[in-house]
Chain A
Amino acid sequence: MTGFLAVQAITKQWAHTVTVGPISLDIARGEIVALLGPSGSGKTTMLRLLAGFETADSGRIVVDGEDVTAAPPARRRFGMVFQHYALFPHLDVGENVGFGLTGSRERGAAAAKVAEALALVDLAGFERRKVHELSGGQQQRVALARALAPEPRVLLLDEPLSNLDPALRERTRRELRQLIQRVAITTVFVTHEQEEAFDLGDRVAVLNAGRLEQAGVADELYEHPASLFVASFVGRANVFHGAAARALGGRDGQLVVARPERLRFAASGLAGVVRERRYTGPAAFYLVESGDGARFEVMAEPGAARVGDPVHVTASSLLTFPDGAP
């Protein structure tokens, strides 16, 4: 089975050392996929390969049955929202949004399209505004309207929320999700924030060092990470080796990953001392130091322990991986 947008064994080599891929990923029509990874993981390269700003060394990109691997960006009909929006400063809002509307379309029809796109992002009547007069959030919405106006086949977003202040970010995220669902457009976006990826993406593809580590829905990544990297990059994770791992129930040669909320204080188990307590309201995070000097976090009731208390810790569920590292 191949999806609406199929990435097939795509690779791109940078200089001599850095390589992205081979990466394969199938994306269904209307699906929202997040590319999640640390900086340098290749997620932005992946997005630029999709947009056509970079050309792949090998592999194919197929959209709706059409091979676009070698097609220039102008022919792909992919809409892109840039990290810093890349609004044309010498054009006004209307001219920016109308930039992609050329060809046989009549003037009046184009103007109607612009108005429609601006209404979609809640900026109706902003046509004659100057770009630099807009707030960051408005600029982001203009960029979105501009990308959507030519009715692209795929929408690409590069760190769509990174330029907004935190208070605005959560609201914008919600609005963005609703908007994408209303337009029902296949969307790929890049982010380095797990919360953003989970919240906005139907599926999340985790990239690391140019490789696709795992692609799946949020629960799957969190509960069944395919690798130690995914386990520790997605959500909070404590990693235990050797004796500490065995004390929590791991076998020889395994390392154990346990999330803070899956650890609890008990009468027996891994012994340690509470070093710090961080109160977050509904719960508290306790930084525990075990006998071999390892430090890990336990999430528990705010009154479960005090700093300096000797404690024992057990795990309600564990993730285990082969212990390659010493």
Chain B
Amino acid sequence: MSRRAAELTALALTLLLAWIVLYPILIVATDAADASALRAFVSRPGEWAALWASIWISLASVALAAAIGIPLAFLFEWFEFPGRKTLGSLVALPVVLPPLVGVIAFLFLYGESGFIARAVQALLGLERAPWRLQGPGAILLVHAYSMYVYFYLFTRAGLARLDVSMLEAAQALGAGRRATLRRVVLPLVRPALVGAAILTFMTALGSFSAPYIFGGGFRVMTTQIVATKLNGDLPLAMVETLALALVAIVGLVLLRRTEGDAILVALGKGTAPRPRPIRRRGIRLAAAAAGWGLAVVLLLPHLTLGLVSLVPYGAWTTEIIPPVLNFENYRRLFSEAERLRPLLNSVWMAAVSTAAAVILALLAGWLIVRRRVAVRRAIEGLLALPWALPGTVFAIALATTFSVNAPARLRLVLVGTAVILPLAYLVRALPLAGRGLLAAYRQMDPALEEAAASLGAGRWRTVTRVTLPQLKPGLAAGASLAFVAALGDIVASIVLYTYETRPIAIEILSSLRLSETGVAAAFGVVLMVVSALVLGVGARR
């Protein structure tokens, strides 16, 4: 392709991305400039409370996740004890729970009529459930459980990149263990820690399932926006969306500032420190016991979900352990057309959006890394933008932009059609696919493609035999993350679904509303298993 053709393609790609990513946000910003809506937002205490709740819940989630994830990472990376390897991968298990599935698992486990509450009630002979799983505490519990994994994985990766000779150098220069940790280890893993903090903050800020199910009267911005939208107060919803977007951007900028110099880490090229055996027998056993205990706690939600999915409708009333278990729920799920439909909907919409995101990311990677087109920064920025803003923001933005028929202003009526949800998933998938592919493209030696060309391979053969196999790990990782995110999505779905295109998450919510907990759990198990399989395939090299 000639230089000119590449530049033109890049320009077309930029415009396409801007149309689906940036334009809807700009429309929200324009629509939010509504005097009465602004006045309503500023004057209502409920709005400020929700905004403040979003901020402090997100910060508290970061603190909790760090407090759990960082020590665990050090434990598993630096110390040898029985079961280290097995436990080390079990600890990352919450990752395979899509947000809504994790939330309902917690509901079945720790909720008013969950296993733990029933057990405590029976044990103490109480008349009513001993607690209600509601409000900010419940939200933070779920967040801590699902988000410490970011800190755990990032910190472990950071520690694994450390050069043992740097630690030895510090010790040879007279630094004790604590001084080495404070003056060498922490500065070197800081980029990893900040990365985890940013990811946790953004996830918590955009979190919808936990506040939606457990919030009760306690509102955060995401649930507030959806409630306002459902009430039909669109101008106010625009203002709220803009406010949430601004919080996300300010938070991102502030956190980025603490990131420090990522080059520091790249400097080390040696081997990472080997895990040290814990010498004292007592401590070693305690570590192992604590590790296995933790694994049980982490696995409980998954097990609960599995168990509840086997309880037929109406069979479980006051017993601690359900009396009847069978596969009735699964049978209904796969044999009743109306139950199967959400599953098929989710699968095809996730597949289409992921495929589209991968194709766009492949094109973008090639234009940015290989052709170094003039608009490469714009393309990269547009690909990353959906990551920087909570999903609710995009859901509202797309709902607003594509519910008006004005082709001259590039606005079409897509809301209510089968196109809008895949489009929303695509927007959310762009950063995941884009990041994976760009990294893979940058790591790939350009000489490989040149070598293929000099051996007589045409463009098609070079791409299929050399480029794609080289990009495969990055492509698989990005695509599997995007697919799993779309499959379990609730944030965009709840704003944009129609009855015909309703995805799994919406069906889980309506099952819960009808007290069909078994069916909801069965959906949850299917979602969990498919997610785990897809992520497993994506992570394989």
Binding site for B on A (CB under 8 A): 51-53, 72-80, 82-84, 86-90, 99-100, 102, 146-147, 150, 156
Contact = CB atoms under 8 A, between A and B. Distances in A.
A52 B470 contact: no
B141 interface: no
Contacts of A72: 453
Contacts of B445: 84, 86
Given A82-B447, A147-B455, A150-B456, 9 more contacts: A51-B450, A74-B456, A86-B445, A86-B451, A88-B448, A88-B452, A99-B452, A99-B465, A146-B455
B466 A79 contact: no
A100 B454 CA distance: 8
Contacts of A87: 451
B454 A84 contact: no
B466 A100 contact: no
B45 interface: no
Interface in B452-500: 452-458, 461, 465-466, 469-470, 472
A79 B469 CA distance: 23
Contacts of A99: 452, 455, 457, 465
B370 to A, nearest CB: 12
A86 B455 contact: no
A76 B454 contact: yes
B506 to A, nearest CB: 41
B447 A86 contact: yes
Interface residues of B, number: 18
Given A88-B466, A90-B470, A99-B465, A150 B455 contact: yes
B456 A80 contact: no
Nearest to B451: A86
A155 to B, nearest CB: 11
B453 A74 contact: yes
A15 to B, nearest CB: 12
Contacts of A83: 447
A74 B458 CA distance: 6
Contacts of B469: 88, 90
A72 B281 CA distance: 68
10 contacts: A51-B450, A52-B453, A52-B454, A72-B453, A79-B454, A80-B450, A80-B451, A90-B470, A102-B456, A156-B454
A106 B445 CA distance: 31
- B450, B451, B466: residue with the most chain A Cβ atoms closer than 10 Å: B451
A7 B472 CA distance: 40
A101 to B, nearest CB: 9
A134 B492 CA distance: 51
A51 B470 CA distance: 23
Contacts of B450: 51, 53, 73, 80, 82, 86
A4 B5 CA distance: 35
Contacts of A86: 445, 447-448, 450-451
A52 B456 CA distance: 12
B470 A100 contact: no
Binding site secondary structure of chain B:
helix
B456 A82 contact: no
- B448, B453, B455, B465: residue with the most chain A Cβ atoms closer than 10 Å: B455
B36 to A, nearest CB: 55
A77 B466 contact: no
B372 to A, nearest CB: 12
A83 B458 CA distance: 22
Interface in B59-76: none
Interface string B258-270: 0000000000000
Q: Across the A-B interface, give the 9 residue pairs with the lowest CB-CB distance, nearest first.
A: A100-B455, A86-B447, A73-B453, A86-B451, A80-B454, A90-B469, A82-B447, A73-B454, A74-B453
A146 B466 CA distance: 15
A254 B458 CA distance: 56
A84 B461 CA distance: 22
A88 B452 CA distance: 9
B275 to A, nearest CB: 26
B14 to A, nearest CB: 24
A289 to B, nearest CB: 41
Nearest to A51: B454
Nearest to A97: B455
Contacts of B451: 80, 82, 86-88, 146
A79 B453 CA distance: 10
Interface string B235-251: 00000000000000000
Interface string B435-452: 000000000010110111
Contacts of B452: 88, 99
A75 B452 CA distance: 12
Contacts of A150: 455-456
- A74, A87, A102, A150: residue with the most chain B Cβ atoms closer than 10 Å: A74
A53 B454 CA distance: 9
Nearest to B468: A90
A252 B472 CA distance: 68
B454 A78 contact: yes
Contacts of B461: 102
Contact of B457 (A51, A53, A74): A74
A75 B458 CA distance: 9
A177 B241 CA distance: 70
A82 B470 CA distance: 18
A78 B465 CA distance: 20
A185 B457 CA distance: 21
Contacts of A51: 450, 454
Contact of A100 (B447, B448, B456, B458): B456
Contacts of A73: 450, 453-454
Contacts of A88: 448, 451-452, 465-466, 469
Nearest to B466: A88
Contacts of B466: 88
B209 to A, nearest CB: 40
A5 to B, nearest CB: 15
A86 B457 CA distance: 15
B454 A74 contact: yes
B458 to A, nearest CB: 6
Nearest to B445: A86
Contacts of A82: 447, 450-451
A209 to B, nearest CB: 25
Nearest to B472: A90
Contacts of B472: 90
B539 to A, nearest CB: 17
A88 B451 CA distance: 9
